[in-house]
Structure 1
């Protein structure tokens, strides 16, 4: 899923586009805090600044969003010697765009903070001790604003997101670093012909593995995708890459389909959709969203399906399932990933090859 693009001002630059900004590093943390005067936010930024070289070593950068005026952010950045940019959003437009909520009132914030778990409470207690040495600055924006973070790659793909339930419900700088690089969740799966395979073992067969989530074998659009992957599979092998397609199909149906289309790759059979949930591959919910804004790629696909005489087979799983792919290395590190916003929003076979 692509993150929403936005234009922001820093204390020193106007009209910066996020889609341009993220190209500076492999990973970008967009971290929403409150405002510069907030001592808790000051602690967060001091700690992020102290970890500058560690973020850099992981090809990651930080962009902090604050409800502060540019002049206040400029002064604060200088005072704390911050090595990262501040997106100044005094009208909280970016918070609204990214749906970062507010507690709404002093009472509601107190209730949320009172519901902290043990780890969150300990984190806040340690922070309060350090806050005693800091001075609260000017109040700006929403005093009851809750924090959040969004982890993006250089193509604006949203890799992780978290909207905090309370003020202790955010990572420390060390915890941000521990998330990088991103690794795929390991799992055990059945193919059309084998049982109990582990992804971590399977990935070691090639330098790169495309884990591609489609719908089910009866879907004629999915059939065409698999046929196209099969037709250029020698090119994948030449780049020491392999393909593993996940379908919501029964093994018997997957076996028949694999034989019919002479597919050179394995099918992960996930009729219960457990892996779709594990990898957060969403359903569109209805045809309107699944087929939204069709373009030339979808028109050409429909034309080819008809010309090739591909017929819709048995319905299985979720008819409105969205597609996704994850490009993994041998250690299950996620090199690239994409969760489709529509059925059309996926690479063609040759576009997968270009990613290698």
Structure 2
């Protein structure tokens, strides 16, 4: 279990595309909060594909998935639709303020463009079919991360060391939350 804390005022200020406060939602049920890289990134699209495959199991366990992205809601909705995540709950953060508040940093050259990233990019983009794109929709240097929140507190987290890290979302939520 990782130890993270965040100012509750930050969580209260985070509003979803539906107008709900993230703070309030964490008291209704645990939340898997997924901070994405920019939508032009192969690894962002890989994350969307991975989550789409397991979202029914996550939600069946009583956990809500909420995405944070760096574009406007209309563009985000198109990407969610493309990855069978239509109706996804999400938070727009084009200035990456919430990313920073959650301790997610800008990546350095090795984290973003190292040999491992090129190899994984080929695997994800070509072999797994997530596509390669040079279109940047958001801050191309912003690193992603995943947090599990319950009752306004971070219960666990996965902070990417490298842009191509692939979280095990199901392991992240297992045994970290009390479901009523």
TM-based fold match above 0.5: yes
Residue of structure 1 in register with 2:158 after alignment: 338
Return the TM-score normalized by structure 1. 0.43
Contact 2:35 2:145 in 1 (8 A): yes
Give the alignment partner of residue 84 of structure 2, picking from 253, 259, 262. Answer: 262
Q: Which residue of 2 aligns with 1:289?
A: 111
Picking from 92, 100, 113, the partner of 1:277 is 100
Would the aligned equivalents of 2:120 and 2:164 in 1 still touch at CA under 8 Å? no
Aligned partner of 2:50 among 201, 208, 228: 228
Give the 3-state SS of the residue equivalent to 2:156 in structure 1. Answer: strand
Using the alignment, how far apart are the partners of 1:315 and 1:303 within structure 2?
20
Structure 2 residue ranges without an equivalent (≥5) = none
How far did residue 290 of structure 1 move? 2.5
Correspondence for 1:201 among 12, 24, 38: 24
Question: Does the CA-based 8 Å contact 2:42-2:121 persist in structure 1?
Answer: no
The equivalences for 1:146-157 within 5 A come to 157=2
Aligned partner of 1:187 in structure 2 is 12
Q: CA deviation at 1:344?
A: 2.8
- Post-superposition offset of 1:348: 3.2
Following TM superposition, by how much is the alpha carbon of 1:274 offset from its aligned partner in structure 2, in angstroms?
A: 1.4
Kindly state the Cα deviation for residue 235 of structure 1 after the two structures are TM-superposed. Answer: 0.8
Shift of 1:302: 3.3
Deviation, structure 1 residue 305: 2.1
3-state SS, counterpart of residue 104 of structure 2: coil
Q: CA offsets per residue over residues 49-108 of structure 1, 9 Å max, x none?
A: xxxxxxxxxxxxxxxxxxxxxxxxxxxxxxxxxxxxxxxxxxxxxxxxxxxxxxxxxxxx
TM-score by length of 2: 0.79
1:350 deviation in Å? Answer: 4.1
Which structure has the higher relative contact order (CA within 8 Å, separation 6+)?
A: 2
1:326 to 120, 138, 147: 147
How many Å apart are 1:293 and its aligned residue?
Answer: 6.8
Q: Flag the structure with larger Rg.
A: 1
User: How big is each residue's C-alpha offset from its partner over 1:189-248, in whole Å with a ceiling of 9 and x where there is no partner?
Assistant: 454x43x43111222342x21112121222221011111101111110121112111111
Aligned length, in residue pairs:
172
